[in-house]
Amino acid sequence: MNDYWNEMVTVALLGTDRRDPPTPPAGGLADLAADDPRPTPSQRLLQQVAGCTVVRRAGLLPGAPVATVAPPTHDPRPPTPQAATKTWRRVVADWPLLEDEWVLAVVRNSRRLAPELVPPVLARHRTDANRHARAMVAAGPLGHWMIEWSPRLACTAKHPPVVELLAELPELPIVPELVPLLSAPPAQVARTLAAGLSSAELGRAHKAVLVNLLARMDPSSLPAVAQAIDRVDPSSPSIGLAFALADLAHLRHHMLTELELA
Amino acid sequence: MVRAIRHIRTGQSPNGGLQHRRRSPEPSIEGPGGTSVSHPLATVAVMSEVAAAARWQAEQVFALAPKPSSLTAAQPLAVPSRWVGAGCDERAVWGRCTGGRAEPYECAIDHVAVAVRCSCPSRVLPCKHALALLLLWARGQVAEGEAPAFAAAVVASAVANSAKQAAEVPEVVAVPAPVPSADDGDDVGLIAPPIFPDRDPNAGRDNRVARMAAGLAELDRWLDDRVRTGLADPALARYSTWDDLAARLIDAQVGGLANRVRRLAGVVGAHPDWHQQVLSELGALHLLATAGRQMGSLPPPLADSVAAAIGWQVRQADVLAGVPDTDHWAVMGRSDVREDRIEVRRLWLRGQTSGRWAMMLSFAAYGQTLDASMMVGTQVHADLFRYPGALGLRVLVGRRHGDPAPATGIVGCSIAEACAQVGAAVAAEPWIERYPVCVLAAPARAGARWVLTDDGGSLPLVEGVTGVGALLACSEGRPVPITVEWTPHGMVPLTAHLPDRVIDLGPTADPSFLAAG
């Protein structure tokens, strides 16, 4: 059948104006051609191609068994919970500046990446040595095993990772006036932000610095801050910014608590 | 009188009736000023008037678009926030579209007679507002309500047009028939209901069948030319070669084949074996073109399959009128594929009791959302209604008897058994392009290609398909139940059913194409 198919491919490439279609091998296809004879070579070829295509598809046969791959070394750390996979996808889609902290939280909580997350996380950071190295720590032996089988997941950065930076979050620019809020009591931070947003003193122009502030402030302040921002006057011109900041605060708090070990 | 109209539509005459001869006008789409334009879909709509008026499918709306740009323009308007006072009933759908103008445009569509009226200045019929409103309605985002005056006017106008056309009967051939008594009342009609041979719904069907047959014959001639001149012909490398044919197939109302032809344009030269793939597909197209012209002699289920494959639409109401297939349906896999300008989601369901497969389709044009009502890894006790066909894979979901619950007891078959299942499916519908199976197998490497393997054999995965990495990682190379989609080019992994979790591996729609859902 394969030889016959290959002959038909050759004829189809050249065209039946130049070469006649091959005679079908004895059997069903030959019977088909005999039952419904076609007058022109092109029609005969089309008929035989259609028949042969159906036979090849319907007659799907398994190939020879293949040796399975040896599994990776066992990693005793518990994997990130299934819900965290969804959270990671949201982080990556909506607030990618939280991803470093998410990966660090996985490592600090003595967890490993859920297996299904290993390929996308490694692929995402293969051009950044530090982030890739951090992801490899989170992935554990499975990460090395995956790179062995799928080399495109390996790091392509030219410079080696800086070990000292692996356990630290990258610094984000925060204006000096807001720096005290990073470590201020939660109630004070919440009050300050809510008042600024309600009075529209904080507006769209401040979004970048406020996002950086919320991404780096003490995590224990997040619930209070999110609650306060949620209560910003809906008629305030900064309500759109307030929604965005509240979403960021909620998400950061959620992702950090979700990764804590029970 | 109402009944008389129904008799006209169905072509039935309970009392023998009168034979009228007249020229059949195409059903019309009414413009802003009440002008009429002909549209092929209107024929189909009139054919089905007698059926319970049901929501259209998105494809029907797409087919109504006079040009692709109309559909593109309609997409941003097909969101509830752009409409005020939108509503629908069994005859019409209406709403006021808010836009840049102070006064919203009033848009109403008689979805039974396919008559459109919109207060916008557009001379394109149907306008983007009408298409947007229909899309909204097709997606079930328009609530039922009482028709306002401007919508009632459209319906009244359409009914009046029908009556006027009926009154223009030039020739009446009397056929002896018992004349009903006056006691029968107005509902029955004092005059025996007339039959217009050309208004017979079969006439519309016949017209469409004739157009389709002509399209299929043209397709076969085109295929013949291709194999005569050879696949090495440089013309095949030009998109227009395929697109022109696809456009003619759409004109002939065989849109299903047009999609297949357009997809082929992207295969030419895409990889070293492209000519094998193109030739196989030309063979499948020839098979469909031949079968489509012989539908009358095919067994009914096979004829239904052929009709669906070449693009004949079946109304949801007709499907929902069938016998439900009730079971606990496990959502086994999901696959999103961009087809032309539409994202298509296939959800593969399997009956926990019957073991039968079913497929739910949903569509999203740019800026729309795909159906996310069923999650992979869950199961739901529900009535499914199958579209007609030899395999009968496509379904609509009817009543749900409970909330979704995690699917349990998912087992995979052997690779050999999977091959047998695929073979049986292809034998039943030789032109199918995908079929699901759930196998217990491990991902493994065979040379440069990934395969699924067990003790009895292996099946290749499609090269470069997404999800292989995640499958390898979550299985760690061990055999796990995996739902895969067979395609002629290999298997596409859709879902890994692990003991403690279910991993959705299927191809995902481009998020920048869809609305945030």
Integer Cα distance of B228 and A17 in angstroms: 5
Compute the average pLDDT of residues B354-368.
92
Structural domain including A120 reads: 82-165
B344: confidence class by pLDDT, cuts 50, 70, 90: very high
A171 found inside a domain: no
A71 found inside a domain: no
- Chain B residues with beta carbon closer than 8 angstroms to that of A63: 446, 451, 457-460
pLDDT of residue B382: 95
Residue with tokens 């490694």: A122
Per-residue pLDDT tens over the stretch B265-321: 888 888 888 999 999 999 999 999 999 988 889 999 999 999 999 888 888 888 999
Mark whether A134 and A199 lie in a shared domain.
no
pLDDT of residue B228: 93
Integer Cα distance of B65 and B69 in angstroms: 8
CB B27 within 8 A of CB B46: yes
A136 found inside a domain: yes
More confident residue, B256 or A155: A155
B504: confidence class by pLDDT, cuts 50, 70, 90: very high
Integer Cα distance of B257 and B310 in angstroms: 5
List the Cα angle B242/B218/A29 in 5-degree steps. Answer: 90
CB contact under 8 A, A53 and B276: no
Mark whether A217 and A182 lie in a shared domain.
yes
E strand or H helix that includes residue B79? none
Sign of CA dihedral A210, A216, A218, A221: positive
Taking only Cα atoms into account, the Rg of chain A, rounded to an integer number of angstroms, comes to 31
Tell me if chain A has a CB within 8 Å of the CB of B400: no
Q: Strand locations in B412-509, DSSP E?
A: 435-446, 449-453, 458-460, 480-487, 490-497, 502-504
A72 found inside a domain: no
Integer Cα distance of B156 and B152 in angstroms: 6
pLDDT at B407 over 90: yes
Phi, psi (deg, nearest 5) at residue B172: -120, 125
Q: Which residues partner with B459 through β-bridges? A: B452
pLDDT at B29 over 70: no
pLDDT of residue A101: 95
Q: Where does a domain end: A165, A187, A218?
A: A165
Mark whether A46 and A87 lie in a shared domain.
no
**Among A107-111, A143-147, B72-76, which is the least confidently predicted range?**
B72-76
- The burial of B484, by beta-carbon neighbours within 10 Å (0-12 exposed, 13-18 middle, 19 or more buried), is given as buried
pLDDT at B445 over 90: yes
For residue A42, the distance in angstroms to the closest alpha carbon of chain B comes to 5
A183: confidence class by pLDDT, cuts 50, 70, 90: confident
Mark whether A30 and A91 lie in a shared domain.
no
Compute the average pLDDT of residues A44-52.
94
Mark whether A158 and A180 lie in a shared domain.
no
Q: Which of residues 38-57 of A touch B (CB under 8 A)?
A: 40-43, 45-47, 49-54, 56-57
Q: Where does a domain end: A134, A165, A196?
A: A165
pLDDT at B146 over 70: yes
Most B CBs within 10 Å, among A116, A146, A152, to test the B interface: A116
Count of domains for chain A: 3
Compute the average pLDDT of residues B481-502.
94
A220 found inside a domain: yes
Integer Cα distance of B203 and B424 in angstroms: 37
Per-residue pLDDT tens over the stretch B375-400: 999 999 999 999 999 999 999 999 99
Integer Cα distance of B414 and B419 in angstroms: 9
Across chain B, mean pLDDT equals 80
More confident residue, B293 or B331: B331
Residue with tokens 């006036």: A177
Q: Where does a domain end: A146, A165, A184?
A: A165
**Residue A85: closest C-alpha in chain B:** B503
A133: confidence class by pLDDT, cuts 50, 70, 90: very high
Residue B298's contacts (CB-CB under 8 Å, 6 or more residues apart) are B291, B306
- CB nearest B469 (choices: A17, A49, A119): A119
Q: Which of residues 51-90 of A touch B (CB under 8 A)?
A: 51-54, 56-72, 82
Compute the average pLDDT of residues B152-165.
77
Integer Cα distance of B85 and B96 in angstroms: 6
pLDDT at A231 over 90: no
pLDDT at B3 over 50: no
Sign of CA dihedral B181, B184, B186, B189: negative
Tell me if chain B has a CB within 8 Å of the CB of A115: yes
CB contact under 8 A, A60 and B419: yes
B1: confidence class by pLDDT, cuts 50, 70, 90: very low
A64 found inside a domain: no
**Among A227-241, B331-345, B353-367, B483-497, which is the least confidently predicted range?**
A227-241
In percent, the amount of chain B with pLDDT more than 90 equals 41
- Chain A residues with beta carbon closer than 8 angstroms to that of B264: none
- The burial of A47, by beta-carbon neighbours within 10 Å (0-12 exposed, 13-18 middle, 19 or more buried), is given as buried
B178: confidence class by pLDDT, cuts 50, 70, 90: very low
Integer Cα distance of B333 and B251 in angstroms: 34
A17: confidence class by pLDDT, cuts 50, 70, 90: very high
Alpha carbon separation from A40 to A16, A37, B224, B286 (Å, rounded): 9, 9, 9, 15
ipTM of this predicted structure: 0.87
pLDDT of residue B54: 66
More confident residue, B164 or B178: B164
Compute the average pLDDT of residues A134-146.
96
**Among B12-21, B89-98, B432-441, which is the least confidently predicted range?**
B12-21
pLDDT at A176 over 50: yes
**Among A100-114, B1-15, B272-286, which is the least confidently predicted range?**
B1-15
Q: Which of B7, B107, B113 is nearest to B53 (CA)?
A: B113
Mark whether A159 and A219 lie in a shared domain.
no
B60: confidence class by pLDDT, cuts 50, 70, 90: confident
Which amino acid type is present at position A97? L
Q: Tell me if the bond preceding A161 is cis, omega within 30° of 0.
A: no
CB contact under 8 A, B456 and A53: no
A225 found inside a domain: yes
pLDDT at B193 over 70: no
- CB nearest A115 (choices: B224, B473, B488): B473
CB contact under 8 A, B427 and A119: no
The Cβ of residue B321 has, within 10 Å, a number of other Cβ atoms equal to 12
Integer Cα distance of B293 and B210 in angstroms: 10
Most A CBs within 10 Å, among B223, B225, B228, B434, to test the A interface: B228
A104: confidence class by pLDDT, cuts 50, 70, 90: very high
CB contact under 8 A, A17 and B230: yes
pLDDT of residue A75: 94
Q: Which residues partner with B382 through β-bridges? A: B327, B400
pTM, rounded to two decimals: 0.72
A69 found inside a domain: no
Which amino acid type is present at position B132? A
Tell me if chain A has a CB within 8 Å of the CB of B143: no
Integer Cα distance of B333 and B330 in angstroms: 9
Long-range contacts of A228-231 (CB under 8 A, 24+ apart): A228/A190, A228/A191, A228/A193, A228/A194, A229/A190, A229/A193, A229/A194, A229/A197, A231/A194
pLDDT at B449 over 60: yes
pLDDT of residue B165: 64
Integer Cα distance of A82 and A78 in angstroms: 12
- Chain A residues with beta carbon closer than 8 angstroms to that of B456: 62, 65
